[in-house]
Structure 1
Amino acid sequence: MKPTTNYTKSGTFNIAYQVIGKGPVDLIYIPGWVSNIDMMWSEPRYATFLTRLTFFSRLIIFDKRGTGLSDRSDKYSTMDERMEDIIAVMNATNSKKAFLFSHSEGGSVSLLFSLKYPEKTLGVVGFGIFAKRRFSEDYPWAPTDEEREVSNKLIEDNWAHGKLDELRTLVPSLAHDNGFMHWLASYLRSGGSPKAALILHKQCTQIDVTAILGSIQVPTLLLFRKGDIEILVEEGRYIAERIANSKFVELEGEDHLFWTGDTYPILAEIQEFMTGIRPHRTDFNNSKEENKKSGIDIKTVMSENFLYNLKVEEFAKLCGRSLSAFKRDFKIAYNTTPSKWIKTKRLEYSKKLLLESSLNINEVCYECGFVNSSHYIKSFKEQYDIPPHQFRLGHKVF
């Protein structure tokens, strides 16, 4: 099912978080620069990656203060405050000890947290993270002050307009997919206003964890794509050389976003790091016989994920099947096609929301996984011979 967004207090700040899955070990995802935990689920690749993590963990995600659904701030947040946010989310979810999965700017606070709270940290996974974001002779991969000022100006001038050229370098594999690029621009804007984005971007310049790397004792997995020009692979080697109990993995590819491109090696490394068991690539797209070994039940996966904005091919991956095997096994299980079943389930759920919630029609539409209200209203009327607003009025209790 689509995850529920909850809030907890970190000092005076409301921090938004979600819990997905019931795996044997907790995994806390700490995003980079800006995030929006609701919007993550609207992008099929993102949703598929996060859902796959729940196959071996209880996944906890949150928006740090100043971003997404959490309270905004007009000043820089200290690293201590950022760590307090993590503690607040752990307390709210009754998480005693967890792995931390961090991306980009989220890496520094994860490393600091593991040093300050080793009793709460099972390990750290960092994808494309950095130790500092200001050029120096001993760390020449970070931007110079002049380069940073250019970036700040671009944010000031272009953030609200969603200009895409600067974003394409984050994800070369999808640089020519205008649909994805428009989603990415919307996602970033939903994660922070122009002012908030600029504050956080400038705050990155203050980050420097180089001095504490040698003191970190918890197991640390460092994942870097060789062609990533946002955070260079040399930065990963620098961190790995200074953390004694670390594993450094260079991956093929150029994308700075972990959920795009070839995601199998990333998921496989994380699962092996956390569980000691490395899945085969075929487990992500396997045959019926291999699926039996994995124990992935098609009905369980579909009932828990039908509200997500996933393509049929991505549901097949979640179920551990090739597309043809998924369609065949789905027909056996449900005696219909995946598309028809998903549409019917979403419409059934929308009836429940119309009767039991105060959400307006547009909100019901998006909550149920439809991408636009006109398609939802048309589908509802075709299914039940009445438009949704009339259905609600006809069943309203006075």
Structure 2
Amino acid sequence: MPKDAEIKPAPTPWGLVVMLGAMTAFAPMAIDMYLPSLPAIAQGLSASAGQAQATVAAFFAGMAIGQFIYGPASDRYGRRAPLLVGVVVYTAASVACALATSPEMLIAARFVQALGGCAGGVVARAIIRDKFDHTETARMLSLMMLIMGLAPILAPLLGGVILTIAGWRANFWVLAAFGVAVGAAVLLRLKESRSEATAAQARSESPLQAYAALFRQKRLIGYLLAGALNGATLFTYISASPGLLIGTYGISPQNFGWVFGLNAFGIIGANQVNRHLLRRRTPDQVLATASLVSAGLAALLALVAVTGWGGQWGVLGLLFILLASYGFMQGNTTAGALSVDPLRAGSVSALTGAASFAAGAVAASISAALHDATARPMALIMLVAIAGSAIALHTLALPSREKA
């Protein structure tokens, strides 16, 4: 596209961006803030390392399952009501986490916390598709990373400070307060965006019929798999990072937050580069290139992890670049999926989120099972996931788009 054909974006609705970013931050806040506390949680509840890790897996499972509920509900009943229900559940479960007296209670409370927290992401994506077209949806999703992306940068640092000052339970009280604040903002400021056409479509079919119709669309499956498998690399890193960075590389729990935040900063930066690229390129054009670059980086990371070339800094440097490539993939695959069937935006949003968390939970579980105090399991799982993402994108989503 020539330079004079650059797309001039509409003025940025910063109030909406901040609110939707905060809604979407429920999950990263709830995951990242308490990661530095995992050893303290295990000690405080007399839990094994496996039980402590299960609190992470339970959250991922709740995020994957809950989205199937909120997606169709937001199409049928509007965006506001299901979101407010989710916020109440998230807040109450955060209080239960803070009051947990056993590992089993904490695992159950984390699962319920995720069932509530997933409403934020599902509804936020649907609201964006209600208001914007395909390319602007991709740009808005990238822009939201300026807000949402602060969570994985600040949450581990904040969690580490809170752990030192007030203990691990205080982290969950902070999450409960965050839920109250976001819920109040939604109640007072968020306007309904669901169209009557979307409501009519939702009333004409059951949630199962809506999902069945979506699963028959090849392009949608391509975008879903591409986004979910690429996202699985991030979940693999989140799950493996405490053991790898603190246990294997000897980084202190206090400095862990800085390293973790640096990688999150790379993702935010890549999202903003992506936002500017979308002034000259379509989301699919960016995806076509980014998917191949990601696959090459994953292969290089696996090679370094297996051979030991470059040591820990070789691994960490490539890991930073590879995770940054997530910023070119996730918003564009989500926008592509939402463009396939706008009248079922809530259900599509649920599928994108559920697929990502399901793939992430599987990848994180495999990484934990194969843990050998090296970066090899993490790197090899990332390679398989990103290769699968690129294959799904190029064989299912992009060719269909070109023929459309």
Structure 2 length-normalised TM: 0.24
> Larger C-alpha radius of gyration, 1 or 2?
1
The structure showing larger relative contact order (alpha-carbon pairs under 8 Å, at least 6 residues apart) is 2
Structure (1/2) with the larger helix percentage: 2
Structure 1 or 2: more strand by fraction: 1
